[in-house]
């Protein structure tokens, strides 16, 4: 089965999941250096940064799994997308409260975190779009059976 044999919806979802994978890797790249720096100095690792990297990792692994054919047929997929969306919104809320109104005053680290907040929001929106699209797709393409015997397809 080549690329031309796949459905347009599957290719669209694969493109969306590829974007989610790229954005998750960007988040890991933005937050992981601070964790490494703290570890090298022997100071404590801030749980907020660890949370952002964990959510990025969960999203990256999920996106990779979703690129496998037939994974998207399961009903739980869109529910998991909603859960990942909530994780991203929490990360956006944490870092948005810290950095949206912060003045960087020439500090590159603060400016990087201000930019990272919008990357978190972009990730959240991508997962929301994916959850809504997968929910609609599942509702329209699920197999429905008759009410009384459950054998005939409706």
In DSSP terms, 145 is beta-bridged to 153
Q: What is the tens place of the pLDDT at every residue in 5-31?
A: 567 877 888 899 999 999 999 999 999
Please give the C-alpha separations between residue 133 and each of 71, 73, 142, in angstroms, as whole numbers.
15, 13, 14
Q: What is the sign, positive or negative, of the torsion defined by CA atoms of 144, 150, 153, 154?
A: negative
In a domain, 153, yes or no: no
Task: Give the domain extent around 45.
Answer: 7-141
Do residues 100 and 117 make contact, with C-beta atoms less than 8 angstroms apart? yes
Question: How far is it, in rounded angstroms, from Cα 99 to Cα 79?
Answer: 30
In a domain, 85, yes or no: yes
Could you tell me the CATH number of the domain that includes residue 16?
1.20.120
In a domain, 148, yes or no: no
The count of domains in the chain is 1
> Quick check: 3 pLDDT over 60?
no
> Quick check: 147 pLDDT over 70?
no
Q: What is the tens place of the pLDDT at every residue in 99-115?
A: 998 888 888 888 999 99
- The secondary structure of residue 72, as a DSSP letter, is G
In a domain, 147, yes or no: no
Output the pTM of the full model: 0.84
In a domain, 65, yes or no: yes
In a domain, 149, yes or no: no
């Amino acid at each position: 089965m080549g690329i031309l044999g796949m459905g347009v919806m599957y290719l669209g979802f694969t493109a969306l999941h590829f974007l989610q994978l790229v954005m998750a890797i960007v988040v890991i790249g933005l937050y992981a250096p601070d964790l490494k720096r703290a570890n090298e100095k022997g100071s404590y690792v801030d749980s907020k940064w660890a949370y952002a990297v964990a959510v990025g990792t969960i999203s990256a692994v999920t996106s990779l799994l979703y690129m496998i054919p037939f994974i998207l047929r399961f009903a739980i997929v869109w529910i998991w997308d909603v859960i990942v969306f909530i994780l991203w919104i929490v990360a956006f809320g944490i870092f948005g409260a810290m950095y949206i109104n912060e003045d960087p005053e020439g500090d590159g680290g603060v400016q990087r975190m201000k930019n990272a907040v919008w990357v978190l929001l972009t990730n959240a929106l991508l997962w929301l779009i994916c959850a809504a699209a997968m929910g609609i797709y599942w509702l329209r393409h699920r197999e429905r059976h008759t009410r009384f015997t459950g054998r005939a397809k409706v």
